Amino acid sequence: MQTVIRSTNILIDGKFQSADIVIKKDTISQIAPYKSLDVAIDFADKRVVAGFVDLHGDAIEKEIEPRPGARFPTSMAVVELDKKLSMAGITTMFHAVGFNDQELSKGRGTQQSRELIEEIYQANTQHLGVDNLIHARFEITSESSLETLKELIIAKKINLLSIMDHSPGQGQFKTLEAWKKYFLKTYAINEDEVQEYLEKKASKDKKSVVEDLVAFSISHRLPVLSHDDDCLEKLNTLKALGVSFSEFPLSLEVAKVAKEMGIKTGMGAPNIVRGGSQSGNIAAVELIKNGVCDYLCSDYHPASMLLSPYKLQKDIDLSLEEGFAMISSTPAKLAGLENRGEIKEGYLADIVIIDETHIPKVVMTFKDGEVVYNAIKNFRF
């Protein structure tokens, strides 16, 4: 039993070209010459690309709690988001699950993050449509999370780890006011509790905790990345620890230095689609124009993954081939996933069909050779 997909517009070996794709079970078994096979699903000139690989998306938090205090069951949220991911063309998702300071998160800390990871892991092994993996985000002062994180790593329920520091005065929050503006609104903490929390956070031993967790993760073959890097000193420290890539560098200068050090960099696709950073930081397009951004992630908005290559083509004349590489082949390689991210013989049959009428939209998604999303009217196999 095999399925053949045909189009004049398939991204193969970095170029759009005509071809027939032969799928057997969950794998691309052959890239055949165009119209060389008798029976095929003919998508005419619709664009055909590999399924997107998203290294950082925290949309699950909004799926669970779309409004403050309005919580929905986690199991329901995981299933509903999985469907939205397939509609967005994302076939491999790394859910960004934070392990934040318990005092700050008040019930949204270690135990709740563990329960979310367990729910995603179980659902992914049993019934979800796309691959739902875990990107654990560790706040460097949340030492109470260490034991739980290590248990989850040993159990192979975490697939990527990042290190973040959300202390005021550095990184994303250059001033205390910027920190308050975000955290007072996001978490259940008031002005009276801020000073006590920050004093406790400043007194913690960050260095040894980070060294311990990064070394542990690397010893378990886990890719480790950093978050919101803002200076050369931080990059040097992270490079020495073995951190291999950096997400959301906060300036062009930092991104340039990271690249010189061999550290890969990534930015958010919504930053591209919206035309800038929501937080007032560097625009992702500036890094891409300077050749210092390697990949894009959904951050908080899965649909932006598809539109970002088209926006880059329009704004800075980046080829669609290069744009799609930033959301598929490059992130797959960085995460150590050597069986996906391209339409290639021997790779998983994770394939997205795009209709570019009006605005680009995903109209069909294959995961492991099976259709997990179809929006083509009257379509019949």
- Each domain of the chain, given as residue ranges in start order, spans 2-48+344-374, 52-335
Whether the CB-CB separation of 40 and 19 falls below 8 Å is answered with no
Separation of alpha carbons 152 and 100, rounded Å: 16
Q: Identical fold at 2-48+344-374 and 52-335?
A: no
Which contacts qualify for 102-106: CB closer than 8 Å, 24 or more apart?
102/142, 102/144, 103/197, 103/200, 104/183, 104/187, 104/189, 104/197, 105/187, 106/187, 106/188, 106/189
Q: Which fold has domain 2-48+344-374?
A: Urease, subunit C; domain 1 (2.30.40)
Separation of alpha carbons 341 and 349, rounded Å: 10
Separation of alpha carbons 223 and 237, rounded Å: 16
Percent of the chain with pLDDT over 70: 90
**Which amino acid does the sequence have at 326?**
M
Better-scored residue on pLDDT, 239 or 373:
373
Q: Give the model's pLDDT for residue 187.
A: 66
Question: How large is the average pLDDT for residues 324-333?
Answer: 98
Q: Give the model's pLDDT for residue 189.
A: 67
Q: Give the model's pLDDT for residue 169.
A: 65
Question: How large is the average pLDDT for residues 26-53?
Answer: 97
Instruction: List Cα–Cα distances, 88 to 28, 41, 53, 326, in angstroms.
Output: 21, 21, 11, 15
Q: Give the model's pLDDT for residue 366.
A: 98
Separation of alpha carbons 17 and 374, rounded Å: 23
Strand partners, 164: 139
* Residue 105 confidence class, pLDDT cut points 50, 70, 90: low
* Residue 142 confidence class, pLDDT cut points 50, 70, 90: confident
Residue 172 pLDDT exceeds 80: no
Task: State pLDDT tens for residues 352-368.
Answer: 999 999 999 999 999 99
Percent of the chain with pLDDT over 90: 74
Separation of alpha carbons 242 and 74, rounded Å: 34
Residue 213 pLDDT exceeds 90: yes
Q: Give the model's pLDDT for residue 195.
A: 72
Residue 107 pLDDT exceeds 60: no
Separation of alpha carbons 130 and 193, rounded Å: 41
Instruction: Report the run of H or E that residue 6 belongs to, with start and end.
Output: strand 3-12
Instruction: List Cα–Cα distances, 363 to 8, 46, 52, in angstroms.
Output: 17, 10, 14
Other Cβ atoms less than 10 A from the Cβ of 170: the count is 15
Token output for 311 = 């926006």
- Pick one of 3.40.1280.10, 2.40.110.10, 1.10.1040.10, 3.20.20.140 as the CATH number of 52-335: 3.20.20.140
Better-scored residue on pLDDT, 275 or 190:
275
Separation of alpha carbons 28 and 346, rounded Å: 6
SS3 call for 169: coil
Q: Give the model's pLDDT for residue 68.
A: 80
Residue 103 pLDDT exceeds 70: no
